[in-house]
Amino acid sequence: MASRKIDVLVAAVSLIVGVSAMMAGCDRGAAYHQHSGFTMGTYYAVTYAGAARCVGELSEVLEDELDAVNAQMSTYLPDSELSRFNASNALDWVDVSIELAETIAVALELSKQSQGAFDVTVGPLVNAWGFGPQERTEPPSAEEVASALARVGYDKLMVDVELSALRKRQVDLYVDLSAIAKGHGVDRLAAVLDRHGCEHFLVDIGGEVRTRGHNASGSDWRVGIEVPDGSGSIQRVLYLSGLAVATSGDYRNFRVESGSRISHTIDPRRGRPVEHDLASVTVVAERAELADGYATLISVLGAESGLRFARDRDLAVFLIVRQEAGFEERYTAPMTRYLPGLK
C-alpha cells in the first residue's frame, strides 16, 4: 500500500493525511482553501471548499472555535472550565458549558461499555508512571501506584447533561480529556465549516480527522495509517467521505527500563502500563470524538479483547500487532469498506 499516490503527506502522531497539492477546483469547480496552526499541544490543518459563503477566509472563525474548546476543556489553562472543576474541593454540582457536559457524558459511556478500560480520571496514574508533566527515570513504588489508583475511577464522576453540570464524588478527583478532546475539537471545526456551507472538507487535529465530500481531485479523501515503527512509512491508505478516523499507538511515546518496554498507555483498572503487543489502533466512526475515544479504549484492551469489543459493536477497526518478525494486521469486517485490498 505504500506505493499508492498521496499528494501531500502531513505527519501526525499516528496518521498521515493525504491532501491534494493543487488547490484548484474539483469537479464542481469549487476553490479549495487551507488553514493550519497549533492547538492542544499539536498541529491542526483544515482544507475546505464549497458554496459561495464558504469561499473566503474562515481562519478567524476556526481559531475562535478552537479557543472556545480550550477554554472549556484544557488542563493546561488554569482558568479553563475543566481546570476550575479539577481545582475545586466541592462535592456539589458545578455548572459547566453544555459542550463540556456532553463530552464528559460520552466519556463516561465509553467507560461503562469497557468496564473502566477507558477512564478520563486516569491522570494521577499517568503522572505516577512518569508520562505527565514531570518525567521520572524510576518506576513508581507499589505504595505510589496504590495512592494514585485510589484517586482514579469513572464512577467518582457524575454528569447531568440536562442541567449542564458536573459533580465529584471525591474531592481530589482529576479529569483529563486528552483521550477525547482532540476528536471533539475536530467535530467542532467540522460543524463550523458545515454552518458556513462548506461542501467538501478535511479537518485534522494531531491525526484525528473528519471528512466531508471530496478532495480537489473529486475523489474520497485519503488518510494514511503509519507503520508503527517510527519510520513515517505508510501501512495502509483509508478512503473516506463523511466519516471520521482516529489512531492510537504507543510507538512514539514509551521508554525502556531494564530491557522492558514501558508503554505510555495506562490501564486504569490495573494501575499499570499495558503489557500487550498491540502497537496501533485505527477506528473509523461518524464522529471524531467517538473514533478518538474508541481508539484509546481498544489500545488499553489489547488485540484480542479489543477486536472482540469492536466486533460486538460493529465498529470499523484496524489493528497492527507486533510479532517477532514484524507486524500483523487484524481488522473488523466494517473496516474493509474503507481500506481497498482487505478481504
* pTM (two decimals): 0.89
Predicted confidence at residue 4, as pLDDT, reads 29
CATH 3.20.20.60 fits 77-168, yes or no: no
Please give the grid coordinates belonging to residue 110. 465509553
Predicted confidence at residue 255, as pLDDT, reads 58
DSSP H or E run through 297:
helix 288-301
**Phi, psi values for residue 180, rounded to 5°:** -145, -15
Residue 38 CB burial class (10 angstroms; 0-12, 13-18, ≥19): exposed
Predicted confidence at residue 83, as pLDDT, reads 94
Answer yes or no: are the C-beta atoms of 156 and 309 closer than 8 Å: no
Q: What is the pLDDT of residues 34-73, one digit of tens each?
A: 999 999 989 999 999 987 677 777 899 999 999 999 999 9
Predicted confidence at residue 12, as pLDDT, reads 39
Q: Output the CA torsion sign for 18, 230, 310, 191.
A: negative
| Diameter of the chain measured on Cα atoms | 64
Predicted confidence at residue 326, as pLDDT, reads 87
How many C-beta atoms lie closer than 10 Å to residue 37's C-beta? Answer: 12
Strand partners, 200: 49
CA–CA gap between residue 150 and residue 47 (Å, rounded): 44
CA–CA gap between residue 39 and residue 69 (Å, rounded): 10
**Phi, psi values for residue 119, rounded to 5°:** -155, 115
Give me the residues of the chain with pLDDT under 70, please. 1-30, 52, 133, 251-262, 343
Predicted confidence at residue 31, as pLDDT, reads 84
Contacts with 215 (C-beta within 8 Å, 6 or more apart), sequence order: 18, 19, 20, 26, 47, 200, 202, 221, 222
Q: How many residues does the chain have?
A: 343
